[in-house]
Amino acid sequence: MSKVRTRFAPSPTGYMHIGNLRTALYEYLIAKHDNGDFILRIEDTDQGRKVEGATDMIYQVMRQTGLSYDEGPDIPGNVGPYVQSERLSIYKEYADKLVELGGAHYCFCDEEMIEDAKQENENEELGYIDPCKNISLEEARQRIANGEKYVVRQTIPDTGITSFEDEVYGHIEVENAGLSEGVLLKSDGYPTYNFANIVDDHLMKITHVVRGNEYLSSTPKYNLIYEAFGWDVPTYIHCPPVMKDEKHKLSKRNGDASYQDLIEKGFLNEAILNYIALLGWSPEGEKELFTLDELIQEFDVKRISKSGAIFDINKLKWMNSQYLKKKSTEELVQLCQPFLEKAYDLSDKDQKWIENLIVVHKDHISYGEEIIEQVQLFFEDEVHPNEEAQEFMKDETIPNTLKVFKSHLEQLSDDEFTEQNIFACIKATQKEAKVRGKMLYMPLRIATTGIMHGPDLASSIMLLGKEKVLSRL
């Protein structure tokens, strides 16, 4: 069997859609599972949709994800160039060849005329019966030599059936008569996706094609082209869409998060990859947390589902929090501090204080940006207890509890205002005020922080600082 080769073929749109990244991940896993090659190809033939800097963004995201490719625009291989706009002469050569083989024809029709014909027909796609199919090759070549504008259009047999096997969707069969004869090479010399993907996948020796299931219906047309050239058809793995909810696809254009948006919010790359691996694929067994190496071991296309997978941000948050727990203090600070710097004035805080603040809240955040709201109370002058907390504070034992606690704290010098000493003050209050458990901790917590649940109380009080705590009490 030939070496497994997969390719990720993004179009430079300016962002990395979650669905696209999942395709990249699956391609990577399939290749690496079999010690194969993973290739990056830039599909930039739609000049109208070109976005400045978008290709660099793809390289950057690929680096950031760790899905390192073996060949690509910036990693030389034997089958380049790996950018489609640099392969125009190749497409031209193969388009001419396909015409000779009978799989396509030169078409001189006027675009507008074609559109009108389609509009008039019930089945828009099939509305156009191209008269140029009847022009002899000789005449067509003469007209091209005379400088007439033309496109290369696929020629599809009127009869017969095209069938193929998809690893996810199984056996697929369509009647050729139902397939439209689309443009393969445009008059400006640029190929359409419908042609470039075939030529490139063949010349780049791609063995497994992974892409969204929106391409499933065009695949029979691609197979007719493979057949005309006498080339082997790759293994097809069409993936179900990534959904926002039951009805809608996840879409960056409609404001849904892209990979970069998630990274900017302080989600971890390894958690995102782990989560998107499970969008449409399920491992055997119950395990959900996988490193990239484990995914390489476990991944099996046979377990990709046919139905759309809903992108559940809460599940991703949970997964991210699992990965956060394993982070060192240094890594955690690196992730969270930039968010604090953006949201608050830290000029009078020392680094140790900032680090403590982050560490104390480690178990209370699921992604980096969440630190901002979690620590808000440390930057405010007053507490803002909610109704439930206010109700709680009406208990008659509370004023005394607070008074006793305050008197103990007052005895601590600034240097003595440490976690241990504060804890000792809490314990002393328990004895002296004769309150314990919830009736001890809750009033102290609400009075000093304004919230009913939070991280370790002594640590929070220490971080708030003596002055603020005494004034709040």
- For ligand GLU, the binding residues (CB under 6 A) are 9-11, 43, 197, 211
Q: Please state the closest distance from residue 363 (CB atom) to ligand GLU, in A.
A: 39
Contact assessment for residue 394 and residue 460, using Cβ atoms and an 8 Å cutoff:
no
Buried b (16+ CB within 10 A) or exposed e, 315-343: ebbebbbebbeeeeeeebbebbbebbeee
Question: How far from chain centre, in Å, is Cα 148?
Answer: 45
Identity of the residue, 10 or 241, whose beta carbon is nearer to ligand GLU in the bound complex: 10
Identity of the residue, 61 or 99, whose beta carbon is nearer to ligand GLU in the bound complex: 61
Cα gap 18→280, rounded to integer Å:
12
Q: Please state the closest distance from residue 84 (CB atom) to ligand GLU, in A.
A: 9
**From the CB of residue 35, how many other CB atoms can be counted at a distance below 10 Å?**
9
Contact assessment for residue 361 and residue 332, using Cβ atoms and an 8 Å cutoff:
no
Identity of the residue, 13 or 429, whose beta carbon is nearer to ligand GLU in the bound complex: 13
Q: Which of 249, 252, 431, 434 is catalytic?
A: 252
Q: Please state the closest distance from residue 22 (CB atom) to ligand GLU, in A.
A: 12
Q: Please state the closest distance from residue 263 (CB atom) to ligand GLU, in A.
A: 20
Q: φ, ψ for residue 170 (rounded to 5)?
A: 80, -150
Say which residues have a Cβ less than 8 Å from residue 113's Cβ, sequence separation at least 6: none
Q: φ, ψ for residue 294 (rounded to 5)?
A: -65, -35
Contact assessment for residue 323 and residue 268, using Cβ atoms and an 8 Å cutoff:
yes
**Taking Cα atoms as reference points, which of 48, 136, 261 lies closest to residue 253?**
261
Identity of the residue, 209 or 440, whose beta carbon is nearer to ligand GLU in the bound complex: 209
Give, for 107, the enclosing helix (H) or strand (E). Answer: strand 104-107
SS3 of residue 236 by DSSP: strand
Identity of the residue, 11 or 154, whose beta carbon is nearer to ligand GLU in the bound complex: 11
Identity of the residue, 22 or 211, whose beta carbon is nearer to ligand GLU in the bound complex: 211
Q: DSSP string spanning 390-457? A: HHHTT-TTHHHHHHHHHHHHHTS-TTT--HHHHHHHHHHHHHHHT--THHHHHHHHHHHHS-SS-S-H
Cα gap 444→11, rounded to integer Å:
57
Q: Please state the closest distance from residue 445 (CB atom) to ligand GLU, in A.
A: 52
252 counts as catalytic: yes
Question: For residue 156, which amino acid is it?
Answer: I
Q: DSSP string spanning 285-336? A: SS-----HHHHHHH--GGGB-SS-EE--HHHHHHHHHHHHHTS-HHHHHHHH
Identity of the residue, 85 or 376, whose beta carbon is nearer to ligand GLU in the bound complex: 85
Q: Please state the closest distance from residue 12 (CB atom) to ligand GLU, in A.
A: 9
Q: Please state the closest distance from residue 56 (CB atom) to ligand GLU, in A.
A: 17
Q: Please state the closest distance from residue 355 (CB atom) to ligand GLU, in A.
A: 43
For residue 429, what are its two tokens?
A: 């209050």
For 170, 204, 413, 431, 472, the CA distances from 401, given in Å and listed in that order, are: 71, 76, 21, 10, 14
Identity of the residue, 196 or 319, whose beta carbon is nearer to ligand GLU in the bound complex: 196
Say which residues have a Cβ less than 8 Å from residue 176's Cβ, sequence separation at least 6: 156, 157, 158, 159, 160, 161, 162, 220, 224
Give, for 347, the enclosing helix (H) or strand (E). Answer: none
Q: Which active-site residues does the annotation give?
A: 252
